[in-house]
Chain A
């Protein structure tokens, strides 16, 4: 047995993020009083350093830790995305937590640990590492979902998420086991080689493993039919944690799924393409149809996030024709829009009055014009109206689908977009065409939350009008997966 040579630089971003989390945890010990904003700032600083360190690795393409971890553009792209999403979430949390009974500094450290887990998921090139990364991420998020201990909905969310997550993990592990059985290895490169030299029984085993993997990741990404936990958990969890789940966890699931399907399981493309096609069509349609019926805005956004998982899956179906890049771009778009929309939900809520019914938004657009305009931007972007980033993202996804010959899937996608317009615009109807919603606190009393919203809104508009540079980064990031 030889000791593998280790290139620490490959793990550098994850190490930095983990150190940040530990630092936050330690700093919490020395803090007095209920104000823990300093921990938030520490986390933001740490994530900013992590993002910068990741960006430096843009031109690296190294695999180390016995093939288990890779630093490449794909990983860098996701690292930066996770860090930026994490920074915005932490910024929101600092004001949001004041309206809840969440005081502990563990909130901040758990958030940072979750982000470290996400980064490892994007960089993992061995199923064992991917599994561990998923667990690091999941355990942190289970705890976060239930961190509002005095709120029954939060407890319920944590329990549901944990039980469902445990199931998903089981599927995932069994899938990994089958793939190991088929190939004798757990590294992505090794499985790829083994599957290329296929023999029939091996292939059958591998296809079964692949299907179980898709199920496992499908749970985390909230794809239909593994979405049933999503609305309850998104609704019950503290809103800032919902953002982390909707944006971060989903992106991490897609990061891992994208890498697994296009590297390790690339020889099985004909098998998984059809499966993902069905999942995409189902996920879009079910998500949008159920979102039509919601009266609680967090549930509505939960179903909308399911629908968006469906759009993202289109990217995987059309992965050979630029779908991968489109998926990466859409994840950025999706992160901005959802951080923004959930941010508005946080601002509308007050201590003791979550104001989560869509009815509570009545008249908001005129009582708080800037907040209303921001929400309108996020909702219209989610609906895919140009010139906002959601439209650019959908354009890339649908183009990829048409180019790959899946015109039918693209048509299902656009019809779903029409459907989604109805419920996004339904919120606008309340905001601008009805009266008598909830009174909210002046947004200016929550400056951090407002800053995060402003950043998300500016990003939504600017990336919508000038999408090409970000798309180019996404394209180059996905390219490395196909280069090996």
Chain B
């Protein structure tokens, strides 16, 4: 790779932008908006350069950067990118300028503070996706909380303070327990290898005794499951989404929730594979419950934004289901679905925000027959909606198909139950679309609504283009993920083989098709003796 520290530049260019924007005079909102937009383009351009430089055949970490940070604890500043994180970085870098653009009309007061917080948030998100040191990851993970808290609490709706505090307390409760887990894990490394380490790649090789592994998995999984959010830890999400300003919702749905699933993929599952495999049936079942529950609750919502929020619970259930299949299809599908959800739900929140800006209501009952005054809006909405419900030819289909394919190899019944989520998803989305866009015009004021402005189209068009592209040509993306996904699964398989865990043997866990899976069913007690 080049000598240029491209990952650091990606992470810290928004921070530099935030400092510059903070120094601009607050009266000149136009200049603040324009400069923020330009600053959000910098990481996007850098991320595209990163994509160009990315070696698809390499399964390991690329463009790694290391610097000593807290030597007494062997904590290093360590960044790297692989096929698991590459597209999530791109998604983040892509959505932030979209949000900056979309906030142009939405945010009218305290523009400067909003833009500074948006840039700080981007710095935290990018850092969390790229960190390869657990301590560094934790720092970025927590750093994101503060700007998001302010975005909801200052620019949000009527119950914003409640929603913001609920968001912070939920997330902090989970993540602080993870901090204890991180410390414990580093100390386990010290106990086994003679020195502390927070280096993710070295911790991957650590084999942990079972009770400790289960506790650690629980601590990590709790933090990530809250963020995802998995049923039944999802209750903060509808509040946060409904109260957040449009930009906040887009970032929250588009990127922040992905950090939860990414956390499972990057940390909780490969670090504690035995515990993860043992917990997989339960968590996969919870994921399916989330899929169905989210869809059913979404169907009952009278509020557009709440509907989209609950649809997130449902869609992220698919991602979790895919992750817990531990096979290539399910895992790649889960990553793909993270990107789809980021794009389509992000766009749905944008669309809801745009109509809210015009009508100052989000109640489905207040709309109807909008297609006539808003044809461009309607067309954009329709494409995004179809992508969200997984119509073949659009991006959503690829992810859901791969996930269900992977899940059928593991748990037929769960997969079948999950598949109903696709049907339910189509039902609530199309029904909502029907009530909002078609039918008679029941409210006179809707007739005079203005269609999308060029700025709004500029915010939506790139998303639409990507939805189409990712639906038609998933191969360029999947090809770049594949080696990393294979390496990730091989790593889990190797770890399980090494620990000879009794709950499931490595083969049966990772590849259902293997004939040897009943051979190594050793009684638990005997296995304990062996591993000592």
Main secondary structure of the interface of B (DSSP, over half): helix
Measured in the bound complex, the distance between the Cα atoms of B160 and A450 in whole Å is: 32
Binds A, one of B166-174, B262-270, B403-411, B428-436: B166-174
Binds B, one of A137-145, A238-246, A391-399: A391-399
A386 x B180 contact (CB < 8 A): no
Residue on A with the closest CB to B173?
Answer: A418
Chain A residue contacts of B176, Cβ below 8 A: 414-415, 417-418
Q: Does B367 lie at the interface of the complex (its beta carbon under 8 Å from any beta carbon of A)?
A: no
Which of chain A's residues 271-322 have a Cβ closer than 8 Å to chain B? none
Residue on B with the closest CB to A416?
Answer: B176
Q: Does B179 lie at the interface of the complex (its beta carbon under 8 Å from any beta carbon of A)?
A: yes
CB distance from B51 to the nearest CB of A (A): 28
A475 x B72 contact (CB < 8 A): yes
Digitize A343-376: 1 where CB-to-B-CB distance is under 8 Å, 0 elsewhere: 0000000000000000000000010010000000
Measured in the bound complex, the distance between the Cα atoms of B110 and A422 in whole Å is: 25
B153 x A433 contact (CB < 8 A): yes
Q: Does B73 lie at the interface of the complex (its beta carbon under 8 Å from any beta carbon of A)?
A: yes
Measured in the bound complex, the distance between the Cα atoms of B147 and A380 in whole Å is: 12
Chain B residue contacts of A402, Cβ below 8 A: 180, 183-184, 187
Chain A residue contacts of B113, Cβ below 8 A: 366, 369
Q: Does A382 lie at the interface of the complex (its beta carbon under 8 Å from any beta carbon of B)?
A: no
Chain B residue contacts of A386, Cβ below 8 A: 138-139, 142-143
Q: Does A31 lie at the interface of the complex (its beta carbon under 8 Å from any beta carbon of B)?
A: no
Which of chain B's residues 39-81 have a Cβ closer than 8 Å to chain A? 69-73
Q: Does B146 lie at the interface of the complex (its beta carbon under 8 Å from any beta carbon of A)?
A: yes
Q: Does B150 lie at the interface of the complex (its beta carbon under 8 Å from any beta carbon of A)?
A: yes
B142 x A467 contact (CB < 8 A): no
With A418-B169, A475-B72 known to touch, is A429 a contact of B153 (CB < 8 Å)?
A: yes
CB distance from B425 to the nearest CB of A (A): 35
Residue on B with the closest CB to A417?
Answer: B176
Measured in the bound complex, the distance between the Cα atoms of B71 and A426 in whole Å is: 36
Q: Which of B142, B165, B177 contacts A385 (CB 8 A)?
A: B142
Task: Specify which of A386, A421, A426, A468 lies most central, judged by the most chain B CB atoms within 10 Å of its CB.
Answer: A386
Measured in the bound complex, the distance between the Cα atoms of B26 and A369 in whole Å is: 11
B146 x A433 contact (CB < 8 A): no
Binds B, one of A168-176, A200-208, A403-411: A403-411
Q: Does A480 lie at the interface of the complex (its beta carbon under 8 Å from any beta carbon of B)?
A: no
Which of chain A's residues 444-472 have a Cβ closer than 8 Å to chain B? 466-468, 471-472
Q: Which of A369, A387, A425, A426 contacts B149 (CB 8 A)?
A: A425
Which of chain A's residues 180-231 have a Cβ closer than 8 Å to chain B? none
Measured in the bound complex, the distance between the Cα atoms of B176 and A421 in whole Å is: 11
Q: Does B391 lie at the interface of the complex (its beta carbon under 8 Å from any beta carbon of A)?
A: no
Measured in the bound complex, the distance between the Cα atoms of B143 and A118 in whole Å is: 36
CB distance from A215 to the nearest CB of B (A): 30
Which of chain B's residues 119-155 have a Cβ closer than 8 Å to chain A? 135, 138-139, 142-143, 145-146, 149-150, 153-154
Measured in the bound complex, the distance between the Cα atoms of B113 and A369 in whole Å is: 9
A398 x B70 contact (CB < 8 A): no
Chain B residue contacts of A421, Cβ below 8 A: 168-169, 172
Q: Which of A385, A415, A429 contacts B146 (CB 8 A)?
A: A385
Q: Which of B72, B142, B180 contacts A410 (CB 8 A)?
A: B180
Q: Does B161 lie at the interface of the complex (its beta carbon under 8 Å from any beta carbon of A)?
A: yes
Q: Does A41 lie at the interface of the complex (its beta carbon under 8 Å from any beta carbon of B)?
A: no
Chain B residue contacts of A387, Cβ below 8 A: 139, 143
Measured in the bound complex, the distance between the Cα atoms of B139 and A472 in whole Å is: 21
CB distance from B216 to the nearest CB of A (A): 11
Q: Does A432 lie at the interface of the complex (its beta carbon under 8 Å from any beta carbon of B)?
A: yes
Measured in the bound complex, the distance between the Cα atoms of B183 and A432 in whole Å is: 34
A414 x B177 contact (CB < 8 A): yes
Measured in the bound complex, the distance between the Cα atoms of B177 and A467 in whole Å is: 22
With A433-B153, A433-B161, A475-B72 known to touch, is A380 a contact of B146 (CB < 8 Å)?
A: yes
Which of chain B's residues 167-208 have a Cβ closer than 8 Å to chain A? 168-169, 172-173, 176-177, 179-180, 183-184, 186-187
Measured in the bound complex, the distance between the Cα atoms of B258 and A367 in whole Å is: 36
CB distance from A326 to the nearest CB of B (A): 11
Measured in the bound complex, the distance between the Cα atoms of B143 and A18 in whole Å is: 44
Measured in the bound complex, the distance between the Cα atoms of B504 and A205 in whole Å is: 58
CB distance from A362 to the nearest CB of B (A): 12
B153 x A432 contact (CB < 8 A): yes
Measured in the bound complex, the distance between the Cα atoms of B153 and A475 in whole Å is: 40
Measured in the bound complex, the distance between the Cα atoms of B70 and A475 in whole Å is: 13
Measured in the bound complex, the distance between the Cα atoms of B68 and A472 in whole Å is: 14
Chain B residue contacts of A472, Cβ below 8 A: 72
Measured in the bound complex, the distance between the Cα atoms of B183 and A426 in whole Å is: 29
Chain A residue contacts of B177, Cβ below 8 A: 411, 414
Chain B residue contacts of A467, Cβ below 8 A: 70
Digitize A332-344: 1 where CB-to-B-CB distance is under 8 Å, 0 elsewhere: 0000000000000
Measured in the bound complex, the distance between the Cα atoms of B162 and A422 in whole Å is: 11
Q: Which of A369, A422, A468 contacts B70 (CB 8 A)?
A: A468
Chain A residue contacts of B142, Cβ below 8 A: 385-386, 391
Measured in the bound complex, the distance between the Cα atoms of B298 and A73 in whole Å is: 63
CB distance from A374 to the nearest CB of B (A): 13
Q: Which of A410, A432, A468 contacts B154 (CB 8 A)?
A: A432
Measured in the bound complex, the distance between the Cα atoms of B139 and A407 in whole Å is: 21
Given A422-B169, A432-B150, 6 new contacts (CB under 8 A): A385-B143, A387-B139, A417-B176, A429-B153, A433-B154, A468-B71
26 residue pairs from A and B, CB less than 8 Å apart: A369-B113, A380-B146, A385-B145, A386-B139, A386-B143, A391-B139, A391-B142, A402-B180, A402-B183, A402-B184, A417-B172, A417-B176, A418-B176, A421-B168, A425-B168, A426-B165, A429-B153, A429-B165, A432-B150, A433-B154, A433-B160, A433-B161, A433-B164, A468-B72, A471-B72, A472-B72
